[in-house]
Amino acid sequence: MSERQPEQSVFNEMFIQSIDETITGILGRAVSEAFTNYMRTRFNLEFDVIPERPEALFSALHDSLGGGGDRVGKYIVRKLYQKAGVEFLDGDGRPLAEYVQALKRRLTDAKYH
């Protein structure tokens, strides 16, 4: 077992909470549950693996909601950064999944350096 695993677990939980809170807050509980089922059946994507496959989440959002899904994705990333206490600066055109991975590395590096 890696010594970094507990920190990754905290990050993963924070990311999953950000997803759930954002989707539920924007779309409501019933639509959030429908979207979760859609991700499971259409993309074979369970919530517990999303932190390891953030690009799949953002792809599913875009596929199901178009440009609105991209905005929802940005809200998710913004909420994640807020939970981590880090300012989210968007604007360099990177895919949202890269922002998630960068934050994960930043938090892990800060914890162990």
What string of H, E and C letters represents the secondary structure of the chain?
CCCCHHHHHHHHHHHHHHHHHHHHHHHCHHHHHHHHHHHHHHHCCCHHHHHHCHHHHHHHHHHHHCHHHHHHHHHHHHHHHHHHCCCCCCCCCCCHHHHHHHHHHHHHHHHHC
pTM: 0.87
The answer to whether position 112 is within a domain reads no
Q: State the total domains in the chain.
A: 1
Identify whether 98 is part of a domain: yes
Instruction: List pLDDT tens digits, range 4-45.
Output: 455 678 899 999 999 999 999 998 999 889 888 988 999 888
What's the domain range around 23?
A: 5-107
Residue 113 located in a structural domain: no
pLDDT tens-place string over residues 76-104: 999 999 999 999 988 788 999 999 999 99
